[in-house]
Structure 1
Amino acid sequence: MTPTYGTSPLPPLETLRGRRALVTGAALAERLAAVGVDVVVTGRTEHAGDSGLYGSLAEVAERIARHGVRVGTVVADLTDPEQRTGIVPSAEELLGGPIDLLVNNAAAAIYQPLADYPLHRRHLVFEANVHVPLDLVQAVLPGMLARGEGWIVNVSSATARLRQGPPFVLVPPGTAMSVYGASTAALNRLTNGLGAELLGTGVRVNGVEPRFGVLTEGADALVGELIDTAVMESMAEMVEAILALCRCSAEVAGQAMVSLDLIDHWKVPVNGTGP
């Protein structure tokens, strides 16, 4: 779908001060803390060296705490339905109240051609990228609806878009991204449906994806040698686009926006301060 950006000006960043946020994946967490948001981050790697993944909750929490906000961590394997049922209650206890901002940023990306893509990997990708976000949305919704206010941002991917052809112009790793792209397309559809259902309640549900891609540490480890870094956008640009949707007006609902387009339409500066 083609997103509708509208022209509503964003409120100042100061309006975020004192709000409570739950973030899966850590890219946005420190930026939220820098503007005064209390933050809980969740993931399965508590300390560096606990897994082969980049970073840890302890490292992120240490950086967040420098901003003087309340910070908490919830260790959980998001793809385990039983473990993730406790994430929102734990986050609310750590922050001393219901969640105002939910950012579904964590994702599983397993790149492999479709001809031999195994079923267990498909289950894992859709569990992480579709079921986890929706379960967390359902868990935070009662508190948001009771207060008549809340912001939910689902981070998607440019791979959700259909490739035009034939002929097909596929950038590396090409069709190996198809299962991942299908899962993020499903997430976009859920975002659109949630935005429609909740319009008028004060709860804003929107999504954002990069124009092409963001070279995070994880993506670099997976496919860094295959992609053209010249077309990648910066982490700072993606973070500011997400931050804008964390304070958008109630008129913005069910959109799957493109980060650089959002920044252009809403005149969002990418300079570490914001409007």
Structure 2
Amino acid sequence: MGGVLEGKVAVVTGASRGIGAAIAVRLAAEGAKVVVAARTVEAAQSRLEGTIGDTVARIEAAGGTASAHATDLAREQDRQDLVQAAGQRYGQIDILVNNAAVTYFAPVPDFTDRRYRLMFEVQVTAPFHLSQLVVPGMRARGEGWILNISSIAARHPTFPPGPYAGFGGTVYGMCKAALERFTTGLAAELYADNIAVNALSPNQVVPTPGTLFHRLTTDDAPGNEPPEVMAEAAFALCHRPAAALTGRIAYSQDLLAELRSAAG
């Protein structure tokens, strides 16, 4: 297709729908070869709309290059297989977008151990492990980009607490806060290697199959942020040199406004 990412290989997890799918489509539009990873291969597998095949079809219909890889990010072997398969199909991975999430909402006293462990495995351990797997190749080539998708839920609550304090988002916020601290620490470690590591959150709730299912928003709620805004911000964080843009806990609309202002 041609573009800023021509010749680059990207892996996007959680890309069967929502923000992940939008990011995969955007990176492919700039010429990247994209490996679309998620659990949902067939529509019947999930209550939520969208499959990895659907995302690949969107990319190919627009003239891009992509392949689907069924991946359960909670499984160590699946994570290893994903990186190996991407390398065998397209070559070394230049861009890793950790977007996959498994989310449950329940107050801490009611949270089950299984759900707690699963959320941390997918949202914290998987990005950590996948980063370990791709960093050696990025170091060897002298550049790379790792982007972790976070949330405003990582911020500490205000006191007295607001109306959503009892909604059950504590564990989700813990996962995202851990992911952000991992982001800045890894960015510092890899700064000299010209590998950018950033975290990105939407400024507002994005209407996706997941957020609609959990009733975090509605399709027509005022102030909703389209997935394409996150995708544009993700692209911005996945091609600039680390010296210019790394170690950021960025918010999509704020980042895009900053970059527009800097460009004059």
TM-score for the superposition, normalised by structure 2: 0.90
1:21 to 6, 10, 30: 10
Q: Where is the helix percentage greater, Structure 1 or Structure 2? A: 2
Which one-letter code corresponds to 1:158 in the other structure? I
2:55 to 60, 80, 97: 60
1:111 to 105, 109, 123: 105
| Mapped contact 1:108–1:128 kept (Cα < 8 A) | yes
Deviations 1:179-222 (A, max 9, x none): 00110000000001000000110111111111232121111112
Whole-Å separation in 2 of the counterparts to 1:148 and 1:75: 29
1:42-53 → structure 2 map (5 Å cutoff) = 42-53=37-48
Q: 1:240 to 1:84 in 2, by over 3 A?
A: same
Whole-Å separation in 1 of the counterparts to 2:236 and 2:141: 21
RMSD: 2.1
| Mapped contact 2:151–2:202 kept (Cα < 8 A) | yes
1:1-275 → structure 2 map (5 Å cutoff) = 14-26=3-15, 27=21, 28-95=23-90, 97-165=91-159, 167-171=160-164, 174-224=166-216, 229-251=221-243, 252-267=245-260
| Mapped contact 2:198–2:249 kept (Cα < 8 A) | yes
SS at match of 2:229: helix
SS at match of 1:264: helix
| Mapped contact 1:198–1:204 kept (Cα < 8 A) | yes
Shift of residue 244 of structure 1? 0.5
Q: Which runs of 4+ in 1 moved over 3 A?
A: 224-228
SS at match of 1:36: coil
SS at match of 1:253: coil
Whole-Å separation in 2 of the counterparts to 1:119 and 1:226: 30
Unaligned 5+ runs, structure 2: 16-20
Whole-Å separation in 1 of the counterparts to 2:230 and 2:151: 11
Count of aligned residue pairs for this structure pair: 254
| Mapped contact 1:192–1:206 kept (Cα < 8 A) | yes
| Mapped contact 1:100–1:149 kept (Cα < 8 A) | yes
| Mapped contact 1:24–1:104 kept (Cα < 8 A) | yes
